[in-house]
Amino acid sequence: MSQITRRTALAGLAGSLVHAANTLPANRNVKWALGTNLWNSFPRVPFTDILDVMRDTGFIGARITQFPQILQTYNITAAQMQKECEKRGVQIITISFNGPTHIAARRGEVLDNARRAMTFLKEFGAERLVVFPPGRGANPPTEDEFKTMCAGFNEIGALANSMGFRAGLHNHLNEMVETDDEVDRCMAMTDPKLFHFSPDVAHLHMAGIDVVKSLEKHKHRLMMADYKDAKREGLVRKAYVPNTYDLGDGEIDFVGCHRVLKSVNFKSWLCADLDIARKGPRVSYERCGQYVVSKLEPVYK
């Protein structure tokens, strides 16, 4: 190969690398994460494979699920996980935390588990704890159950504050905070100084909630959020996963959501916690990243 040809080839390679970098989410004010739970739907891979997808697609944060069992699942220690994250410039940002907050007699157990989760997260420099409500029975929660749950959320929030964390509600279908009224009541019955809002917009949408209006209503309590798309038609309440989609493939007005984030100068994480990846995790996160860059970053990075 002649010198000029080598130079041309190198220049082309450099241009390709720059182009690839420019197609990844910017991760400035809005920083992008993914959820590790998706990989449970596929044949087991080393945890480092998840971190590689994060690095390559620009979703540089991870929400851990099934803690602490996940360490045994992937045969990895917290120290090893931290080392592998640092190699790739990615990080663990939170844990999907839940417990029987609606049962007052188990409050001590819930708080002990929350403390353990945040102690783990602190080693990674994380500052947020995403809190799921208890599961929903055949009937809506009673007033006493709901009140006890919210009191539990406040105590988790107080513990989080004492450890340099923030804790926030993560709504979900088939759990005790599902409907528009329940989201609003939970926000009204918890202390905004102690407990924040970390919504899953797909589950808001599938519950019949206007996502943009809900975010607008509670925008000053937004701690982080899940961005994944969804459709309502054909929803089976106990099997909602097929109704969630890659960003841009469903019905949610993410541009409107992003305008709400911009209005409060949101500077936190958005987690594309996909429930399903029809062509595999890497393909889905590449598609989501393209949507972020082309549709959402022009609104607010």
Give residue 22's pLDDT band: very low, low, confident or very high (50, 70, 90): low
Q: Residue 255 belongs to what domain range?
A: 26-296
pLDDT attached to residue 241: 64
Structure confidence by residue, pLDDT tens digits, 29-47 = 999 999 999 999 999 999 9
pLDDT attached to residue 16: 38
Question: What mean pLDDT is reported for the chain?
Answer: 92
Give the helix ranges, DSSP H, for 208-280: 211-217, 254-263
Percent of residues, the chain, with pLDDT higher than 70? 91
> Does the residue 7 lie in any domain?
no
> Does the residue 242 lie in any domain?
yes
pLDDT attached to residue 133: 98
Q: Cα separations (Å) of 292 from 27, 226, 296?
A: 10, 13, 5
> Does the residue 278 lie in any domain?
yes
> Does the residue 11 lie in any domain?
no
pLDDT at 135 over 80: yes
pLDDT attached to residue 119: 98
pLDDT attached to residue 137: 84
Number of domains observed in the structure of the chain: 1
Percent of residues, the chain, with pLDDT higher than 90? 88
> Does the residue 6 lie in any domain?
no
CB 240 within 8 A of CB 205: no
Sheet holding 195-197, edge to edge: 195-197, 166-169, 128-131, 91-97, 61-64, 30-35, 268-272, 225-226
Strand partners, 96: 130
Give residue 19's pLDDT band: very low, low, confident or very high (50, 70, 90): very low
pLDDT attached to residue 70: 96
**Once rounded to an integer, what is the mean pLDDT over residues 115-127?**
97
* DSSP run (H or E) holding 129: strand 128-131
Give residue 1's pLDDT band: very low, low, confident or very high (50, 70, 90): very low
- Nearest Cα residue to 32 out of 278, 289, 255: 289
Structure confidence by residue, pLDDT tens digits, 111-120 = 999 999 999 9
pLDDT at 139 over 90: no
pLDDT attached to residue 234: 82
Give residue 208's pLDDT band: very low, low, confident or very high (50, 70, 90): very high
pLDDT attached to residue 66: 93
pLDDT attached to residue 242: 72
> Does the residue 3 lie in any domain?
no
Structure confidence by residue, pLDDT tens digits, 68-111 = 999 999 999 999 999 999 999 999 999 999 999 999 999 999 99
The CATH number covering residue 100 comes to 3.20.20.150
> Does the residue 43 lie in any domain?
yes
**Once rounded to an integer, what is the mean pLDDT over residues 206-231?**
97
**Once rounded to an integer, what is the mean pLDDT over residues 266-290?**
96
- Within its chain, how far is the Cα of 208 from the centroid? 20
pLDDT attached to residue 236: 79
* DSSP run (H or E) holding 188: helix 180-189
Structure confidence by residue, pLDDT tens digits, 222-266 = 999 999 999 998 887 666 667 999 999 999 999 999 999 999 999
pLDDT attached to residue 151: 98
CB 76 within 8 A of CB 45: no
> Does the residue 34 lie in any domain?
yes
Q: Cα separations (Å) of 257 from 10, 23, 225, 226, 297?
A: 41, 21, 10, 11, 12
**Once rounded to an integer, what is the mean pLDDT over residues 168-192?**
97
Count H helices and E strands in the chain, helices first. Answer: 11, 10
Q: Cα separations (Å) of 219 from 93, 97, 199, 223, 244?
A: 21, 22, 11, 9, 23
